[in-house]
Amino acid sequence: MLLDRACPGDGWNAGNGMVFGAALNAHIDTTAIALLALVIDNAEPAVHQALNWLRVTSAECSSPYSLAWSALAFLMHKDRAAKLCIARLQEAMSSDLSIFNTETLSLAAIAINPTGSTTNPFKVI
């Protein structure tokens, strides 16, 4: 079902990729979350397109929430963009001008130090 809902050539948003014949824009956090669900289907063209889109889009993002989700997706897909995304997340988190909610802080903590290694941060040990 997730693959059916992908935005054409990009990632995912919170609904359908097309409405009344018009393509909708993908969102960073929604794309990253979908990619987490599709780790086992990483041979799918939509997954590769979404990873490419997420690499480009997250490089221009300043939202700690979206960067944390992106970093988690990159880590789970063992993508080369993980280190740069985590560095940008750390930079965004160190800003004194930002106020973060518990969800953002939790996601950032998991993304920055996923159990101290490259293992699956969501795996129950």
Amino acid at 95: S
Adjacent-strand bridge partners of 23: 18
Give me Rg for the CA atoms of the chain.
Answer: 14
Q: Can you tell me the distance from the alpha carbon of 17 to that of 108, in angstroms, rounded to the nearest whole number?
A: 28
Residue 23 CB coordination number (10 Å): 13
DSSP secondary-structure letter at 6? Answer: P
Q: What is the pLDDT along the chain (125 residues), one digit of tens a residue?
A: 788 888 887 898 888 777 888 878 889 999 999 999 998 877 888 899 999 999 999 999 999 999 999 999 999 999 999 999 999 999 988 875 666 688 988 899 889 886 556 566 666 66
Which spans in the chain are helix H?
Answer: 28-37, 45-58, 64-76, 82-93, 102-112
- The structural domains of the chain, with segments of one domain joined by +, span 3-112
